[in-house]
């Protein structure tokens, strides 16, 4: 079983290596099929692991990484129920999306590179899920961030896409910094970073320390899973190709945050779980209201993802990791399907503004059908997937949460149904739009059909009808037996209310509010339609001052530092001028003066040297005579 | 012959040699005059050897004769070189060392 474990992340990685090095030499569809084959093989390897994992076994590979002193650091891959479920989601949904991309990306000039990035994205996500150690998880976590940057700004010729990639990268980096700090603190305080040792740390570390560390780790999840206040990157990430949006929203990027919190849940103290709950609920409701007002198909879906991630975070805040993962699984299916459906619409009509779409049901029957299945599943209508996972969370909220929580989540459910059906009805029903759509090719419809099957039926794995195999897999022992009929009724009521809202307000533009409340409603609508001005506030409070400070520093640099450097240069030059003058006037004159003195002396003395021997001899004789007279 | 007389003779020889060196223009004349000076010195050595009974001084006289022979060889060689290169044997016509 161990080799299969290694193959799961290595196959997409190999596909990435192959495509990035010689992808250009492959014919375009071949490059796509390489990625699909690698992901499908990973999915096969995951399925091969199913049998022992379902029996509750934990498979692991481990190798020594650093053996300097104690503690010895080991890296490894491990599969338990939680990570197996994530593996299944990533490989399954990833394969479908890669398959779909073969059709969607046809004719793109960087076709092989797209699939190379896609494969790397999946490989790093698989590595993240398989890691049994914080360090490997962090490395893969950053790789996921890098791939998201590469893919969101895949069409980097568009300035908006380049900016969106940058924004995603920088925003998630804020969370990553928190995660890194948490990991380092944990290593320093706890001495271990193995995931299987986390439960043991609960006894040894102090309560406050655990709270601080878990909140730092949660900050990483907030960035990656686009929770308030770091959610701003996700809507902008819609600038990337639609399959990338599907991958980010369903399987890879945002799921990482949920997985991280679920994996490290033993570290979370009641206080930090309160924070998780609050952030999750706030995200769920705020993003839901924004999704109601967006008019771009992909942005509606983006905010709906943020909202659903908020729901998962809420479940995590209740301590129900298994339920959050269950919802993540069903969400992966129907959200990937919604995105692929939206991509199909965009592919056919080159239009993503809701106001210019409509009546596509006739032209695109398959897309409309799968979109409807996904929408119904997302609304939580009995007995599709979304119902089981959402109702499990509602049930947990009723039992473990404060009394108002159930009401808040039901309000969120109303909004969920409302925005998704508003999207569906305005896209596929009503008066046909000027853009005559056409059905997408089989290569795009087939993955959608498979995902539709998942969106409809995956939830059954966590339903009481099949005795909750999925929840057992995730280690949940106390399960509410049977279907809770009041909750079922409540959620159905919420879905019906949402549907009515979508129909009356979203499509027919009715005004349900009494006239007295209308100004307030308009104001709320304006707020939501402008995303609560979060981007504007960031611009004003953080980015603006930051840029101003940078500009100030640049000016300081230009004036003071450059001035000092230039001044030093000028002073050096002035000094050199003076030195040159000194050299010329003093040193040169001294040297030349010596030479001229010698020349002058020579000129004066040259008459002595006549060259006539007799005169020399005469001098000698006279000198001898004089000397002998003197010495006498 | 008294010592004084011979001493007078050697001084006269020396004076003649110095006069010749200072006045002769011909290079060979110069050499001859130098020969006179050397022989005046040799005569003095022999004279004082006889007068004070020292034998060593006679050895010096022999050295001087040998030296004079060598000097004549070198001097004549120089004179021949002079005649070949400067086409003259007159010492005052050669002033290459004039400053």
First CA to last CA across chain B, in angstroms?
50
Answer yes or no: do A611 and B96 touch at CB < 8 A: yes
Of the candidates A142, A301, A147, A274, the residue with the CA atom closest to the CA atom of residue A214: A274
Which of chain A's residues have a Cβ under 8 Å away from the Cβ of B26? none
Q: How confident is the model at residue B9 (pLDDT cuts 50, 70, 90)?
A: very high
Which of chain B's residues have a Cβ under 8 Å away from the Cβ of A610? 95, 98-99
Chain position carrying tokens 């129900």: A320
Q: Regarding predicted confidence, which is higher, A49 or A71? A: A49
Q: How far apart are CA A400 and CA A198, in angstroms?
A: 24
The 3-class SS string of A105-120 reads CCCCCCHHHHHHHHHH
CA of A599, closest CA in chain B: separation in Å?
13
Q: Regarding predicted confidence, which is higher, A535 or A592? A: A592
Q: How confident is the model at residue A95 (pLDDT cuts 50, 70, 90)?
A: very high
The answer to whether the complex's ipTM is over 0.90 is no
Of the candidates A289, A277, A288, the residue with the CA atom closest to the CA atom of residue A313: A277
Name the average pLDDT for chain B.
89
Which of A607, A610, A617 has the CB atom closest to B22's CB atom? A617
Which of chain B's residues have a Cβ under 8 Å away from the Cβ of A617? 21-22
Report cis status (omega within 30 of 0) of the bond before A20. Answer: no
Average pLDDT of span A208-236: 89
Which of chain B's residues have a Cβ under 8 Å away from the Cβ of A609? 97-99
- Is the pLDDT at A72 greater than 70? The verdict is no
Of the candidates A486, A278, A316, the residue with the CA atom closest to the CA atom of residue A391: A486
Q: How far apart are CA A155 and CA A164, in angstroms?
A: 11
Find the radius of gyration of the CA atoms of chain B.
16
User: Given this model, what pLDDT does residue A68 score?
Assistant: 65
Q: How far apart are CA A631 and CA A620, in angstroms?
A: 16
Task: Give A552-621 as a DSSP string.
Answer: HHHHHIIIIIHHHHHHHHHHHHHHHHHHHHHIIIIIHHHHHHHHHHHHHHHHHHGGG----HHHHHHHHH
User: Given this model, what pLDDT does residue A566 score?
Assistant: 92
Structure tokens at A29: 């569809």
User: Given this model, what pLDDT does residue B37 score?
Assistant: 93
Quote the percentage of chain A above a pLDDT of 70.
97
Residue A113: left (phi > 0), alpha (psi -120 to 50), or beta?
alpha
CB A494 within 8 A of CB A398: no
Answer yes or no: do B99 and A609 touch at CB < 8 A: yes
Average pLDDT of span A92-114: 88
CA of B87, closest CA in chain A: separation in Å?
16
- Is the pLDDT at A37 greater than 80? The verdict is yes
- Is the pLDDT at B92 greater than 90? The verdict is no
CB A386 within 8 A of CB A334: yes
Q: How far from chain centre, in Å, is Cα A79? A: 23
Q: How far apart are CA A458 and CA A578, in angstroms?
A: 87
Structure tokens at A405: 């929580």
Which of chain A's residues have a Cβ under 8 Å away from the Cβ of B93? none
Looking at the DSSP bridge assignments, the partners of residue A60 are A78
Q: How far apart are CA A59 and CA A69, in angstroms?
A: 27
CB A81 within 8 A of CB A88: no
Answer yes or no: do B91 and A607 touch at CB < 8 A: no
Q: How confident is the model at residue A64 (pLDDT cuts 50, 70, 90)?
A: confident
Residues A601, A607, A613, A619, CA torsion sign: negative
Of the candidates A92, A90, A102, the residue with the CA atom closest to the CA atom of residue A457: A92
By the 10 Å C-beta count (0-12 exposed, 13-18 middle, 19+ buried), A57 is classed as middle
| pTM strictly above 0.80 | no
Answer yes or no: do B96 and A613 touch at CB < 8 A: no
Task: Give A57-102 as a DSSP string.
Answer: --EEEEEEEE-SSSSPEEEEEEE-HHHHHHHHHHHHHHHHHHHHHH
Q: How far apart are CA A383 and CA A397, in angstroms?
A: 20
- Is the pLDDT at A431 greater than 80? The verdict is no
Give residues with Cβ within 8 angstroms of A19, minimum separation 6: A26, A31, A34, A35, A112, A113, A115, A116, A119
Q: What is the pLDDT of residues A491-503, one digit of tens each?
A: 888 888 888 888 8
CB A160 within 8 A of CB A191: no
Q: What is the pLDDT of residues A191-209, one digit of tens each?
A: 888 888 888 888 888 888 9
Q: How far apart are CA A201 and CA A130, in angstroms?
A: 21
Q: How confident is the model at residue B99 (pLDDT cuts 50, 70, 90)?
A: low
Q: What is the pLDDT of residues B33-80, one digit of tens each?
A: 999 999 999 999 999 888 888 888 889 999 999 999 999 999 999 999
Answer yes or no: do A617 and B92 touch at CB < 8 A: no
Looking at the DSSP bridge assignments, the partners of residue A63 are A75
- Is the pLDDT at A474 greater than 80? The verdict is no
- Is the pLDDT at A26 greater than 70? The verdict is yes
CB A455 within 8 A of CB A384: yes
Q: What is the pLDDT of residues A486-535, one digit of tens each?
A: 888 888 888 888 888 888 877 777 777 777 777 877 888 888 777 788 88
- Is the pLDDT at A480 greater than 80? The verdict is no
Q: How confident is the model at residue A347 (pLDDT cuts 50, 70, 90)?
A: confident
Chain position carrying tokens 């110095």: B18
- Is the pLDDT at A301 greater than 70? The verdict is yes
For residue A230, the 8-state DSSP code is S
Contact A607/B at CB under 8 A: yes
Give residues with Cβ within 8 angstroms of A543, minimum separation 6: none
Q: Which positions in chain B have a beta carbon within 8 angstroms of at least one beta carbon in chain A?
A: 18, 21-23, 25, 30, 91-92, 94-99
Q: How many Cβ atoms sit within 10 Å of the Cβ of residue A357?
A: 24
User: Given this model, what pLDDT does residue A200 score?
Assistant: 83
Of the candidates A123, A141, A130, the residue with the CA atom closest to the CA atom of residue A178: A141
Answer yes or no: do A614 and B22 touch at CB < 8 A: yes
Quote the percentage of chain A above a pLDDT of 90.
29
Residues A450, A456, A458, A461, CA torsion sign: negative
- The CATH code belonging to domain B3-85 is 1.10.287.3510
Q: How far apart are CA A442 and CA A456, in angstroms?
A: 21
Which of chain B's residues have a Cβ under 8 Å away from the Cβ of A605? 99
Residue A393: left (phi > 0), alpha (psi -120 to 50), or beta?
alpha
User: Given this model, what pLDDT does residue A2 score?
Assistant: 66
Residue A147: left (phi > 0), alpha (psi -120 to 50), or beta?
alpha
Structure tokens at A12: 């997409």
CA of B17, closest CA in chain A: separation in Å?
12
By the 10 Å C-beta count (0-12 exposed, 13-18 middle, 19+ buried), B22 is classed as middle
Q: What is the pLDDT of residues A450-459, one digit of tens each?
A: 888 888 888 8
Could you give the 3-state DSSP secondary structure of residue B99?
A: coil
Of the candidates B95, A523, A259, A147, the residue with the CA atom closest to the CA atom of residue A513: A523
- Is the pLDDT at A441 greater than 70? The verdict is yes
Find the radius of gyration of the CA atoms of chain A.
37
Which of B21, B30, B92 has the CB atom closest to A612's CB atom? B92
Chain position carrying tokens 């009724």: A489
Could you give the 3-state DSSP secondary structure of residue A66?
A: strand
Q: CA nearest A618 in B: which residue? A: B22
Name the average pLDDT for chain A.
86
Beta-carbon pairs below 8 A across chains A and B? 36
Q: What is the pLDDT of residues A138-169, one digit of tens each?
A: 999 999 999 999 999 999 888 989 999 988 99
Q: How far from chain centre, in Å, is Cα A575? A: 56
Q: What is the pLDDT of residues A376-397, one digit of tens each?
A: 998 888 778 888 888 888 888 8
- Is the pLDDT at A415 greater than 70? The verdict is yes
Average pLDDT of span A343-348: 86
Answer yes or no: do B99 and A606 touch at CB < 8 A: yes
By the 10 Å C-beta count (0-12 exposed, 13-18 middle, 19+ buried), A564 is classed as exposed
Q: How confident is the model at residue A275 (pLDDT cuts 50, 70, 90)?
A: very high
Report cis status (omega within 30 of 0) of the bond before A71. Answer: yes
CB A415 within 8 A of CB A378: no
Parallel/antiparallel/unpaired status of strands A73-79 and A59-66: antiparallel
């Amino acid at each position: 079983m161990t080799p299969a474990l290694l193959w799961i992340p290595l196959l997409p990685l190999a596909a990435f290596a192959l495509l990035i090095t010689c992808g250009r030499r492959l014919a375009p569809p071949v490059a796509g099929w390489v990625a699909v084959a690698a992901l499908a093989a990973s999915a096969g390897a995951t399925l091969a692991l199913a049998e022992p994992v379902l029996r509750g076994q934990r498979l692991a590979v481990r190798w020594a990484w650093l053996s300097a002193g104690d503690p010895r650091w080991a890296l490894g891959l491990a599969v338990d129920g939680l990570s197996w479920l994530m593996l299944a989601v990533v490989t399954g949904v990833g394969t479908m999306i890669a398959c779909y991309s073969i059709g969607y990306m046809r004719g793109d000039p960087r076709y092989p590179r797209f699939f190379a990035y896609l494969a790397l994205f999946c490989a790093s996500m698989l590595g993240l899920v398989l890691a049994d150690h914080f360090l490997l998880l962090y490395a893969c976590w950053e790789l996921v961030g890098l791939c998201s940057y590469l893919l969101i700004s895949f069409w980097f010729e568009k300035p908006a896409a380049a900016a969106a990639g940058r924004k995603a990268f920088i925003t998630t980096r804020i969370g990553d910094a928190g995660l890194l700090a948490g990991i380092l603190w944990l290593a320093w305080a706890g001495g271990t970073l193995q995931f299987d040792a986390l439960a043991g740390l609960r006894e040894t570390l102090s309560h406050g320390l655990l709270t601080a560390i878990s909140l730092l780790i949660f900050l990483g999840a907030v960035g990656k899973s686009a929770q308030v206040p770091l959610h701003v990157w996700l809507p902008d990430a819609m600038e990337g190709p639609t399959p990338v949006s599907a991958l980010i929203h369903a399987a890879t990027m945002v799921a990482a945050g949920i997985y991280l919190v679920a994996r490290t849940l033993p570290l979370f103290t009641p206080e930090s779980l309160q924070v998780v709950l609050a952030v999750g609920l706030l995200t769920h409701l705020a993003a839901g209201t924004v999704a109601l007002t967006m008019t771009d198909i992909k942005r509606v879906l983006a905010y709906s993802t943020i909202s659903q991630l908020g729901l998962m975070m809420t479940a995590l805040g209740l301590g129900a990791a298994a339920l959050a993962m269950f919802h993540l699984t069903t969400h992966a299916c129907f959200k990937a399907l919604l995105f692929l459906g939206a991509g199909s619409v965009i592919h056919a009509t080159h239009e993503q503004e809701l106001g210019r779409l409509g009546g596509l049901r006739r032209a695109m029957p398959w897309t409309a059908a799968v979109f409807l299945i996904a929408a119904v599943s997302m609304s939580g209508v009995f007995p599709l997937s979304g119902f089981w996972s959402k109702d499990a969370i509602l049930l947990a909220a009723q039992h473990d949460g404060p009394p108002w929580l159930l009401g808040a989540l039901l309000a969120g459910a109303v909004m969920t149904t409302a925005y998704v059906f508003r999207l569906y009805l305005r896209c596929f029903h009503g008066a046909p739009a000027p853009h005559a759509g056409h059905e997408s090719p089989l290569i795009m419809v087939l993955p959608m059909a498979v995902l539709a099957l998942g969106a409809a039926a995956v939830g059954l794995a966590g339903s009481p009808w099949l005795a909750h195999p999925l929840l057992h897999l995730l280690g949940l022992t106390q399960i509410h037996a049977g279907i809770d009929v009041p909750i079922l009724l409540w959620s159905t009521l919420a879905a019906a209310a949402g549907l009515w809202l979508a129909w009356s307000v979203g499509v027919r533009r009715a005004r349900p509010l009494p006239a007295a409340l209308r100004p307030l409603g308009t104001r709320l609508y304006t707020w939501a339609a402008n995303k609560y001005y979060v981007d504007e506030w960031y611009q004003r409070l953080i980015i603006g001052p930051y840029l101003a400070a940078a500009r100030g520093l640049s000016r300081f640099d230009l004036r003071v530092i450059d001035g000092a450097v230039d001044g030093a240069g000028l002073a050096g030059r002035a000094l050199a001028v003076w030195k040159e003058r000194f050299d010329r006037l003093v040193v040169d004159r001294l040297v030349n003066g010596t030479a001229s003195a010698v020349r002058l002396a020579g000129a004066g003395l040259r008459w002595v040297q006549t060259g006539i021997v007799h005169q020399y001899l005469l001098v000698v004789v006279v000198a001898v005579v004089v000397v002998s007279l003197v010495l006498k | 012959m008294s010592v004084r007389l011979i001493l007078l003779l050697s001084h006269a020889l020396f004076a003649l040699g110095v006069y010749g060196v200072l006045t002769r223009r011909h290079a060979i004349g110069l050499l001859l005059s130098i020969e006179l000076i050397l022989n005046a010195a040799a005569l003095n050595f022999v004279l004082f050897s006889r007068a004070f009974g020292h034998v060593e001084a006679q050895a010096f006289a022999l050295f001087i004769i040998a030296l004079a022979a060598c000097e004549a060889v070198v001097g004549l060689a120089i004179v021949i070189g002079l005649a070949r290169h400067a086409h003259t044997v007159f010492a005052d016509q050669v002033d290459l060392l004039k400053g």
